[in-house]
Amino acid sequence: MTPGLLGGITLLAALIFSVLGLVMGILAHTLRDGRYLEAAKRLAALTLLAALLSFGSLEWAILTNDFSVSYVAGHSSANNPLWVKLVTPWAALEGSILLWAMLQAAYTWLVSLRVGHSLDLWRAPAALGTLFAVQVFFFAVMVFVAHPFDAVSNPPPDGQGTNPLLQNHWMMAVHPVLMYLGFVGLSVPFAYAVAAMVAQRYQSWIFETRWWTLVAWGFLTAAIFTGKWWSYEILGWGGYWAWDPVENASIIPWLLATAFLHTAQVQERKGLFKGWNFAFITLAFAATVFGTFLTRSGVIQSVHAFASGPVGAWFLVFLLGVMAVGLGLLARVSSEIREAGEVRWRSREGALLAGALFFGTFAFVVVLGTLWPLLVEALSGAKVSVGAPFFNQVSIPLGVFMLLLMGIGPVLPWRHTNAEVVRNLSAMLVALGVGTLIGFGLGLTLGVSLAIGLFAYNLTAVGLMVAQGVRERARSLGMPAGQALLELAASHKRRFGSHIVHLGIALAALAIAFSQTYRVTEQKTLQVGEVWQTRGMEVRLLSIGAREEANRFAAVAPIEVRSISREGWGSDGRYQTRLNFYPQMGSPLATPVVKYSLYNDFYFVLMQFDQDKGQWATLKIIVTPMVGWLWVAGLIIVLGTVYILWPSPARVASRQMSPTAGD
């Protein structure tokens, strides 16, 4: 048995199991027979097994350099280091769809384990059926148009190699997997929403769906932040976000899932916003397919785009199908889920809905900006692109409003405002004013000063809320404040976790404001031994040399940096700036060296060097303040999410008692 054969057979098996699972789901739903549901559960496990075997075969083929397998011949090389080989399955189209389908099978299997527990028998057939339908799509794409295991009749002695940009940093092993876990994870909330609408049970789905959405959201957040960091570490431009279509593709589902996470709380608590929740979750899942369609179809060009092919049309049809099912069902049930009460804007629910609408609007703007070039081309035939300035211009005011709402929302009570709330809001506004004025006092720009003010404002909001809870508990139970805080944090995980996440977001906004405003770039050509004084540093070019490595060849220019004034603090050290040459590329790939410090990041890039005599090298230095805190903020957000999700006896008990006790 060759890996190619095993992979192809198991792939076909996975497709067949998924089709059977879909049929069983439909039978279980229409005939109301539990035996079909049992069969669907077994098929979920079988599909996962087949998908794991298929993925394993691809790894096997890559590790054993089996170039008779098309994917390996096209995207791997015998010279690649082991870790590159291990991550090669998701370095190109077919393999990444295989990873996607495998993760989809894993999620479906996890959902099948919930049947009979939290997923009741009325909703389970539709939920599993939806997931099987999604799975059928992915396996069918591979079997019919993007087969990773096609046989190569004359196997070449070596493959064409892996995209150098992808093997230049270990993040390749982390970021794509996180992104797929997030994207695929959103299929589960979608399946639950479809099941709720099909089974006409509009309330019970929300509790577990919120949990699944948070899982996917956590992965998406982690993926977005690691992607930013990767782009920062490797691309040599000193930035981390360019509003590239693929970056947009990751932020659109994130925004819509965020909107859902906020309105879902209102439904949990008061049974409102059912329609919004169905809509947000459908659109969030559709957005993941939309993103894949954009980048895999060749309609929109992007740095992440794989070669175009027939896959695009498949994804377009699938996207339309998802939208039609989700929104069609919503239209059908809309009269049954009409809101019972009116929304009170000056309460928690009002702030949550306003926040969700901002997230939805933001998502809409990003979609519009991403698709605008297509519209212009269709209408006038001109090729245009929408630049990053457009997105920045729109996202700054939207971001400011969201940061304002983020502070207000949790402070507002579910019922009417009272004196204490007014006092808290006044304190927050004072913090906003003082923070902004301090920024101005330090001579910072309006935007950055406002970011400082908003950070202080959100810090105050969280501080006041925590302090208030601790004070009340300490007083009523007569315990020290520290113990009260620990007990509250353990018993109100959702509330404390969301505080942590909100603080992370506020910190991220601060880091973005500083780094985008005060980034400076310096460039100079240095002779070997020459010293360059710039931005509080003394930079000496030590030598220029060459280095031979297994999969590449590198030009290395070591430099020595000493700080000579406050601006250069933290930059000291010896750094190996380098240009990597990969055999499959005609030109070198810059590999920046980044020195992190508490305030400034120092970014050294070798741009050019004297190829004849090795006497000079052109260096670029980028100094960016606070960008390191962006990664810290990402970590805080993910840790806050994990804190909410972390199972605890208290949480399980509270979920069973009442839907609102976890608040």
Partner 1 sequence: MKPKYLIGLTVVAGALAYLIFGGLGQNLVYFITPSEYYQQIDRYQSRTVRLGGLVKPGTLDYNPQTLELRFVVTDGVKDVPVRSSGATPPALFGENRGVVVEGRFQGEAFVSQNLLVKHSETYQAPKEGWTPDEVRKLIEGTQ
Q: Using CB under 8 A as the criterion, which residues of the chain lie in contact with partner 1 when the complex forms?
A: 74-75, 91-92, 160, 163, 165, 235-237, 298, 301-307, 345, 361, 365, 368-369, 372, 376, 382-387, 389-390, 393-394, 397, 521, 523-525, 579, 584-590, 605, 607-608, 610, 616, 618, 620
Nearer to partner 1 by Cβ, of 42 and 304: the residue is 304
Residue 170 DSSP code? G
Element housing 616 (H / E): strand 616-625
* 2/521 with CB nearer partner 1: 521
**CA gyration radius, the chain:** 27
* Residue 224 vs 305, nearer CB to partner 1: 305
Minimum separation from the CB atom of position 575 to partner 1 (A) = 17
Indicate the residue among 468 and 584 with the shorter CB distance to partner 1.
584
| Degrees, nearest 5: CA angle 381-386-388 | 165
533 pairs with which residues across the strands?
538
Burial readout 162-194 (b: 16 or more C-beta within 10 A, e: otherwise):
bbbbbbbbebbebbbbbbbbbbbbbbbbbbbbb
Whichever of 125 and 238 has its CB closer to partner 1, that residue is: 238
Between 207 and 237, CB nearer to partner 1: 237
Please, what is the minimum distance in Å from the beta carbon of residue 287 to partner 1?
18
Closest distance of CB 75 from partner 1, Å:
7
CB of 330 to partner 1, least distance (A): 21
Shortest Cβ 516–partner 1 spacing (Å): 16
Q: Least distance from C-beta 169 to partner 1, angstroms?
A: 13
Nearer to partner 1, 110 or 585 (CB): 585
Angle made by CA atoms 22, 23, 28, in degrees to the nearest 5: 100
Rounded to whole angstroms, the Cα distance separating 227 from 180 reads 12
Q: How far is the CB of 414 from partner 1 (least distance, A)?
A: 19
Residue nearer to partner 1 on the CB measure, 162 or 226: 162
| Sequence-ordered list of residues with C-beta below 8 angstroms from that of 429, at least 6 positions apart, any chain | 457
Report whether 31 contacts 42 (CB < 8 A).
no
Q: How far is the CB of 524 from partner 1 (least distance, A)?
A: 8
Smallest gap from residue 372 Cβ to partner 1 (A): 6
- CB 590 to partner 1: min, Å: 4
Residues in the chain, overall count: 663
Nearer to partner 1, 301 or 491 (CB): 301
Strand, helix or coil for residue 137: helix
Minimum distance, C-beta of residue 301 to partner 1, in the bound complex (Å): 4
Q: End-to-end distance of the chain based on CA atoms, in angstroms?
A: 55
| Spatial separation of the C-alpha atoms in residues 54 and 372, rounded to whole Å | 39
> Which two three-digit tokens encode residue 436?
């902004």
Name the residue among 634, 563, 635 with its Cα closest to residue 602: 563
Residue 273 and residue 91: Cα distance in Å, rounded?
Answer: 41
Q: Are 501 and 637 in contact (CB under 8 A)?
A: yes
Nearest CA to 409 out of 493, 451, 463, 346 is that of: 346
Complex with partner 1: residue 165 or 427, whichever CB lies closer: 165
Q: Which is nearer to partner 1, 95 or 536 (CB)?
A: 95
| Interatomic CA distance for residues 113 and 78, integer angstroms | 41
Q: How far is CA 184 from CA 250, 324, 388, 596, in A?
A: 12, 19, 28, 34
Q: How far is Cα of residue 153 from the mean position of the Cα atoms in its chain?
A: 40
Least Cβ distance, residue 584 to partner 1 (angstroms)? 5
> What distance in Å separates the CA atoms of residue 149 and residue 168, rounded to the nearest whole number?
26
Nearer to partner 1, 579 or 623 (CB): 579
* Tokens matching residue 89: 């399955």
- 153 burial via Cβ count (<10 Å: 0-12, 13-18, 19+): exposed
193: tokens are: 């929403």
